[in-house]
Structure 1
Amino acid sequence: MTDMPTPSQQKAATTSVGELVGEVSRDLSELMRKELELAKAELADSAKKAGAGAGLLGGAGYAAMMTLLFLSIALWWALGTLVGGGWSGVIVAVLWAIIAGVLYAVGMKRIKSVRGAPRTVETVKEIPEALKRNEENRS
């Protein structure tokens, strides 16, 4: 093995510390710029896919609503042969009112259990104190 310095070692030996720090700073800036460009491109692609998926889910929701409507009408008609048209409409409406009540109760229970981002709130509250300590240490 020879004791020949590598090109990096030669450059470090002939370049000042300030120049080396400046070069590292430029390289980091370039790296951050490239990473931001990559993130923008990836997010744009993801947003397009999410938008298309959301549109399809909206269409599926509408189709499901129409299915429930026509099944409700069919149930109303079928019950109409047993108890009469008026009462069968009331029965179907009461069934839907019960379903709506259950969904409402479950939804409200879940909404009340949401606590937001408590850990994030706590850490954000610590930032001003950390900045104050930093200022005091500089003085």
Structure 2
Amino acid sequence: MSDPVDFRDNRGVGTLISDLIQQVSSLMQTEIRLLRAEMGDKLKTMLGGAVEVLAGGLLLMAALLILLQALVVALAHWVGAGWASLIVGLVVAVIGVILVKRGTSNIEPSNLTPDQTTNQLARDAAVVKEQFK
């Protein structure tokens, strides 16, 4: 069984409503600060992902040039110099692919959702609802 409600609060209705409005206002300001901080973190992650995609793309372009050079040298001479270029090109391509995959996963829209703020707002709404029962 729940505890009995204590109705011995000496504050008037006006004071109670004023206090409630102040607390809700303070709560909303706190939630807005949380949203700003969380969105700042999400944007930093997105920017980092964009930089990785750019770096990966540049490395893939360099890999293409090296691989093309390696193919030309390998076909022209059928000796070891071309194969050395081929190995270097493949390594650069693998690094580029890894950077592009990491970067694209960081800039997915699902990573930009302010999860903490959404959860906190839902909890706050439940508390406010409970106060009006």
TM-score normalized with structure 2 length: 0.46
Which structure's CA Rg is the greater one? 1
Flag the structure with more relative contact order, 1 or 2, with Cα contacts below 8 A and sequence separation at least 6.
2
